[in-house]
Amino acid sequence: MPVRNTDIADIFDAIADYLEVEGDNPFKIRAYRNASRTIRGLGPELREIVARGEELTGLPGIGKELAAKIVEVLETGTVQTLEKLKKKVPAGVIEMLKIAGLGPKRVKALYHELKIESLAALKQAAEAGRVQALPGFGTKTEQHIRDALEALSQRPARVSIALAGPSVEALTRYLQQVPGVLEVAVAGSFRRCKETVGDIDILVTAGTDSPVMGRFTDFADVEQVLAQGPTKSSIRLRSGLQVDLRLVAQECFGAALQYFTGSQAHNIAIRRIGRQRGLKINEYGVFRADGKVAGDTEESVYRALDLTWVPPELREDRGEIDAAREGRLPELIEAADIKGELHSHTTATDGRNSVEEMALAAKRCGLKYLAVTDHSQYLKMVHGLDERLLLAQLEQIDRLNAKLKGIRLLKGIEVEILEDGRLDLPDRVLRQLDLVIGSVHSRFRLPARQQTERILRAMDQRFFSILGHPSGRLIDERDPYEVDMAAVVQKAKERGCFLELNANPQRLDLTDTHCQMAKEAGVLVAINTDAHGLAEFGQLRYGIGQARRGWLEKKDVLNTRPLNELSKLLKQTMG
């Protein structure tokens, strides 16, 4: 089986996990993390780059040592560095890093002091009260571990849409090239742009002599063939993802695509409307007693119910059917509507590229402006900027703006919201910026009232433009902190500031329902990639999908404005 970019990135992340638990050099750990992020964002496969004889050291964050490890993985499927680490630390210890609040230092303490080597052993120790006896833990931490383990055990087996994406897209391209195949479409939660996906449903139409089913089970990344038949087959990929392929007749394709796209709640509502009209709706079409009336296209299915076609992202039975009946479905935002990026990081803190490199990459992506928003001084681990360093960066931005063509750099900061609601830098510095993103990166477990008051006080500060990743969640890693989002939206409306939809697929924060809440309140949302490297501008697609699920239109999004209009809106937030 060919080694894919995701395989190499997974290996580098695993090395970083082991090194963290071992307490190794933080710069080495960061190098592996950065390399993993670069690799995940690449378009071409690394094996193809190596086959062409190109130097891997030309990639951002890939030096000679990491390039050699990439070649080793391509040749052997693994790397000796990881195999040696596996012999030193049990894999179950690394699993403990999945528990929110258990950083590498605490996991190391659990492993070395209590000899805990698995999640099962951690559960037993927490239930027996042994964890709280460790220095730096206590009863609250122990209870948090028990709660997190319980939540983890109940979590369905789903993966990030970004992790599923490369496999799904590669398989789709492969199927499109099979002789006799006429149409290929991905359905299910992937098509609806859900944050996480379970099994993948793919539909094809093909000629009677097409070998598509056999070719499907022969796909290079197949780990196991679960079922194989003339009209349906199932496989499990090496990534663990299950994919079901259905061969559908052309005259039924629209009905099947509507049915298998879902959601279940949306489909139940559609079938209910059908019954009221004397219609039967299933994956084969729309039927009356005297025969079939629709089903070759999705549009025909909705038209049979006197509904306009509903975009897949809206199919959650949250008002979209009434809107389709009344002709008031939103004209959802498209990636092409975005004019610029308002949240990015550089090598000044935890980014992997210089200001100029990020600017040129943004320009290549068709953006007209880029805000440089490195972290503020509170985040010492990423070398957050103090007043002196930030002012030096502002001078650098002025020099670059004088020479760059086709892209404008905006002066910004991602400033820490302190526990009492103050911002991490003084007004005399913040007033010199074009925008200020206020974010929470600490004290996630404050009670809801205290956390909400903290954020509301920050939004009331004189220089405050955008609330960054408003709930603080990391999908499947860290739950959102407890905050009254309705109060936050109302404060943004009163204050005249904005909310971020962070497009990083680990965050996708705002949620779809909170996007709707902001839209209904008239609060503009900034869709930002939070890019820490050149490839991450491509993560905009996930933010667009989330925005569409949240009913957002071009007019609802801050950074769809041209620079002159944007500048006026930002200026209103800056004192």
Say if residue 384 is in the same domain as residue 270. no
* pLDDT at residue 101 greater than cutoff 80: no
Tokens encoding 69: 């490890």
DSSP string, 400-461: HHHH--S-EEEEEEEEEB-TTS-BSS-HHHHTTSSEEEEE--S-TTS-HHHHHHHHHHHHTS
Compute the residue count for the chain.
Answer: 575
pLDDT, one tens digit per residue, over 445-482 is 899 999 999 999 999 999 999 999 999 999 877 889 99
Which CATH number do you get for residue 405? 3.20.20.140
Does residue 446 lie in a domain region? yes
* pLDDT at residue 566 greater than cutoff 70: yes
Picking from 294, 325, 356, the residue at the C-terminal end of a domain is: 325
Which CATH number do you get for residue 12? 1.10.150.110
Give 4's pLDDT tier (boundaries 50, 70, 90).
Answer: confident
Of 17, 16, 11, the C-alpha closest to 96 is 17
Say if residue 201 is in the same domain as residue 240. yes
Say if residue 126 is in the same domain as residue 266. no
Does residue 283 lie in a domain region? yes
Q: What predicted TM-score, i.e. pTM, was given to this entire model?
A: 0.82
How many other C-beta atoms are found inside a 10 Å radius of the C-beta of residue 485?
A: 19
Say if residue 357 is in the same domain as residue 481. yes
Give 437's pLDDT tier (boundaries 50, 70, 90).
Answer: very high
- Give the lowest-confidence range in 83-92, 278-287, 372-381, 400-409: 83-92
Picking from 226, 247, 268, the residue at the C-terminal end of a domain is: 247
Which CATH number do you get for residue 309? 3.30.210.10
The residue type found at 127 is E
Say if residue 277 is in the same domain as residue 129. no
How many helices, marked H, and strands, marked E, lie in the chain? 24, 17
Say if residue 108 is in the same domain as residue 172. no
Does residue 330 lie in a domain region? no
The mean predicted confidence, pLDDT, of the chain is 93
Does residue 435 lie in a domain region? yes
497 Cβ contact list (under 8 Å, min separation 6): 459, 464, 465, 466, 467, 573
What's the pLDDT at 572? 97
Picking from 247, 281, 298, the residue at the C-terminal end of a domain is: 247
Measure the CA–CA gap between 92 and 111, rounded to whole angstroms. 10
Say if residue 146 is in the same domain as residue 175. no
Measure the CA–CA gap between 526 and 131, rounded to whole angstroms. 42
Say if residue 93 is in the same domain as residue 237. no
By residue range, what is the domain housing residue 171?
Answer: 159-247
Give 340's pLDDT tier (boundaries 50, 70, 90).
Answer: very high
Say if residue 521 is in the same domain as residue 437. yes
Q: Which of 98-107, 141-150, 275-284 has the highest mean pLDDT?
A: 275-284
Does residue 527 lie in a domain region? yes
Does residue 184 lie in a domain region? yes
Say if residue 44 is in the same domain as residue 97. yes
Domain count, the chain: 4
Say if residue 201 is in the same domain as residue 300. no
Sign of the dihedral defined by the CA atoms of residues 516, 522, 523, 527, in that order: positive
How many other C-beta atoms are found inside a 10 Å radius of the C-beta of residue 227?
A: 10
Say if residue 531 is in the same domain as residue 384. yes
350 or 99, higher pLDDT: 350
What's the pLDDT at 240? 83
* pLDDT at residue 155 greater than cutoff 60: no
* pLDDT at residue 529 greater than cutoff 60: yes
- Angle of CA points 14, 132, 29, to nearest 5°: 20
What's the pLDDT at 1? 60
What is the rounded average pLDDT of the residues 187-199?
95
